[in-house]
Structure 1
């Protein structure tokens, strides 16, 4: 497996113009107007093309005009490319614009950072689109931040096939495969020196540990992810940050760096802890825009947690934030929000202990059939109903809320144990249709399973659309936690004191 320290190149663009060749025009006199004076193509990884950006060129005059030349300042050596009047290129002549009309120029870029500089991990690449020349010349600047990265990807073989991982065999004995690769020993420590960009499924081999240092940034191409094999481990060692840049947090997200992609769900697959993986820990991490944030199959057969996740945010998962099937999980100061299905799905039994966690779901990208938290001791497929004991599911000092009436649901079959307990929690369960009135699972007066519960009172989050799950000092979760079971600090490292709050965040004073 190789590292690629690669680059950022130029793409293809399109140009729309109202154009006639049967009219007389005046030469442009340097009075063009533009939709912007600088086109920022945002941050892109080396050797990965940018999105397409557009520029509108206006002729505000009452005369039909001709622009003698439109060209890139760097000429043919530029890493930008334009498309004017339907023709891609880097220089153009005699471009007509009707009176009171406009044309569009589309721009893309790809750059090789090693060709730009031999030392920096970031480089600001600039150029300009020049309209006309001499005293009539006008310019629009082009700016792109190029970022170096470590690229990890499956090997491409001489016969044109790509390296794959085998996940079992079908009924006819054929292997079930996905495009992926095993990390070798030199790739098992992700540092903060450069971002990592992963193509396909990067697998941690059996008996090995992938260690991710504080401040590391991991980016995934579409349908890519990390897989932790049987007897392998994942150790995410983020630390508390002192600024909003989350400089010490470990961040997992897609490989599109443009602002328009910053909160788009489903850009990559998942962090997948497969059956038999062991001793997985995640601390001070942000996992965003995945299909499933963390996918966990079974436990490692020991009494120790298979996954300990602390001080971590999971946002904008197109399916589920944390999906555990017969898992053994300890979660503290965990915040999950905006999931296409459930934010937390404890499926097919298992053993779970969550303290000072916020499980919210304010999904607005479509209809949602699932609650914020779904707890099950079974898994039904088209052919089989699988069951497993829910040994315990303990929620202490948690918030379970969202924009649906029922944000906590149980799916129980009688063939396996179903043990749960909620203490000092704020829960949304507004059964206005009385669907569960006679169901003992939802008897919130039963103190053996529901103790010191606040129902259906808005937690007063700061901004759920922006995944800002801070609570105000007027929140009913303020002071709700049990001091004897509460975490000592919140997800941001803020001390909780003698009167701690429920949820991942201690209350704050909101700005006016």
Structure 2
């Protein structure tokens, strides 16, 4: 009983003290707010696509609890910016309280239809966030670059069902479909007038050619790509650029333009060259941040595999593989295949491959990588399928990375397995002698490895930043064959009398 009385007395005392406490007293803001940023740049966005959300903080450095009479966008409810002040969404806020020595978050985003403002293909959209008014008025500027674009996407029928593409039908009649649409004849030429934004897979129909002009910019939404049907063709007609803007190069990338997404792999799916598609050409292109840069299919016969000529191009930062070729036919020169979550280049189930002055490299650091940068095989892994590897020639190439062994050769001894490395820089540190006795890995066999250099660092400029120029003291310097090397490197520089392996002719990087 004594314990209960003591507790009751304590409660009564607390209530009494509480009843005597005054509520917080807020004084009007005096215009002395501080901001973590005075201008918010929401980066470049496409017309009618929402921006990412930007955040800044508002500080009350004073010793008084204050109330801000008004926080609002200058354009009010007509603004295309959207705010959230301390978790409350809106565009105009009144009597916003902020405690002494405290801060609050303000979130900003926007969606703009460029046609509501201008006929230009891009413009700056601006507004301000105003804090208080009159002599206490303080502002934070908002700036966004809006680009117009050509949007390509699957249509929906009257019932709202989205258009799909048929990929395959099994023996039971079950269909495999993906979100996508076929390009019409008037859509089969991508120009450089506006960027293209693709949702789902844009399909090049049979016996049609998609031509992409120099300087075009192709952006893909998540899960999207280009797919070329049997007998269809892709022609990418990029050209050498003279500035760092790569004004003549064709660039394939995701549709998020903020710096945060600049080097995020796996933002879109792939360029898919299906079985029977043919005569593909890719010149001066950059394909980056895909799951797989290029997929090339076949139906287990070399004559029906996709065919590709690729020159002066780059496939960068693929979450799975840069180039996945199945019984394909590929001729590549002055091209770069760099950084993938698995092997950078995979050539499986045979085919015919000729790579000259190419850089095939992998320094992937987004997750653990166990696969070498180059994988050649005449089988289809985890199946009974086998086909002839008619040729796989790597001449004047760099095949390198941060693993001790950066190429793998898998021969089932049932089909032809023809390959050769010549005048190339390769990484093969077999410290445990695991490959002793395997003829394919006998690097002293000049019929397989002719004039190759092993395990000498190429000294890339910055492999993590996808800068693959090489220093003139690196392992690739002067090792190429002058009679087989390309005349110019990927940047249009003349090859030296003693040319270098890889896509770039070396320079003195110490002066850069």
Runs of 5+ consecutive residues of structure 1 not aligned to the other structure? 1-20
Displacement of 1:170 in angstroms is 3.0
Distance in 1 of aligned mates of 2:181 and 2:304:
31
Distance in 1 of aligned mates of 2:417 and 2:503:
26
- What are the superposed Cα offsets for residues 472-498 of structure 1, whole Å, 9 maximum, x if unpaired? 111121111001000000111111132
In structure 1, the partner of 2:425 is 426
Distance in 1 of aligned mates of 2:167 and 2:54:
41
In structure 1, the partner of 2:241 is 241
Q: Write the mapping of 1:362-511 to structure 2, written as runs, cut at 5 A.
A: 362-381=363-382, 384-510=383-509, 511=511
Distance in 2 of aligned mates of 1:255 and 1:396:
36
- Establish whether residue 194 from structure 1 lines up as the match of residue 191 from structure 2: no
In structure 1, the partner of 2:63 is 62
Contact 2:276 2:305 survives alignment (8 Å) = no
Distance in 2 of aligned mates of 1:305 and 1:110:
41
In structure 1, the partner of 2:297 is 297
Higher relative contact order (CA 8 A, sep 6+): 1
Distance in 2 of aligned mates of 1:320 and 1:194:
29
Figure out how many residues of one structure are paired with residues of the other and give that number.
Answer: 489
The 3 A distance-change label for structure 1 pair 408 and 353 is same
In structure 2, the partner of 1:156 is 156
Displacement of 1:172 in angstroms is 2.6
**TM-score, length-scaled by structure 2:** 0.94
Displacement of 1:305 in angstroms is 8.1
Displacement of 1:298 in angstroms is 2.5
Contact 1:132 1:138 survives alignment (8 Å) = yes
Q: Write the mapping of 1:111-190 to structure 2, written as runs, cut at 5 A.
A: 111-117=112-118, 119-190=119-190
Displacement of 1:88 in angstroms is 1.1
Question: 3-state SS of the aligned residue for 2:186?
Answer: helix
Question: 3-state SS of the aligned residue for 1:260?
Answer: helix
Displacement of 1:90 in angstroms is 0.5
Runs of 5+ consecutive residues of structure 2 not aligned to the other structure? 1-21
In structure 1, the partner of 2:225 is 225
The 3 A distance-change label for structure 1 pair 67 and 177 is same
Q: Max radius of gyration: which structure?
A: 2
The 3 A distance-change label for structure 1 pair 229 and 338 is same
In structure 2, the partner of 1:265 is 265
Following superposition, which runs of at least 4 residues in structure 1 exceed 4 angstroms of deviation?
299-305
Contact 1:459 1:477 survives alignment (8 Å) = yes
Question: 3-state SS of the aligned residue for 2:143?
Answer: strand
Question: 3-state SS of the aligned residue for 2:339?
Answer: strand
Distance in 2 of aligned mates of 1:189 and 1:474:
44
In structure 2, the partner of 1:12 is none
- What are the superposed Cα offsets for residues 348-403 of structure 1, whole Å, 9 maximum, x if unpaired? 1100000000000000000112111010110134xx32111000000000000011
Distance in 2 of aligned mates of 1:209 and 1:305:
14
Displacement of 1:85 in angstroms is 3.1
**TM-score, length-scaled by structure 1:** 0.94
In structure 1, the partner of 2:347 is 346
